[in-house]
Amino acid sequence: MKDKISIMIPEDKLMARIDELGKQITEDYKGEPIHLVGILKGSVFFMCALAERIDLPVTLDFMQVSSYGDQTQSSGVVRIHKDTDESLEGKNVLIVEDIIDSGRTMSYLLKILEARKPKSMKLATLLDKPSRRVCEVTADYTGFEVEDKFVIGFGLDFAQKYRNLPFIGVIDEIGDE
Ligand code: IMP
Ligand code: MG
CB 151 within 8 A of CB 170: yes
Q: Indicate the pLDDT class of residue 118, thresholds 50, 70 and 90.
A: very high
Q: What is the pTM of this model?
A: 0.95
Nearest protein CA to atom 3 of ligand 1, as residue: 102
Closest by CA position to 29, among listed 156, 109, 141: 141
Q: pLDDT for 82-101, tens place per residue?
A: 999 999 999 999 999 999 99
Percent of the chain with pLDDT over 90: 86
What is 11-147's CATH number, 3.40.50.2020, 3.30.70.120, 3.90.198.10, 3.30.300.30?
3.40.50.2020
Which ligand 1 atom is nearest residue 103's CA?
4
Where helices occur in the chain by DSSP H, the ranges are: 11-28, 44-52, 104-114
Ligand nearest to the CA of 8: 1
pLDDT score at 78 = 85
CB 174 within 8 A of CB 3: yes
User: Whole-angstrom Cα distance, residue 18 to residue 54?
Assistant: 10
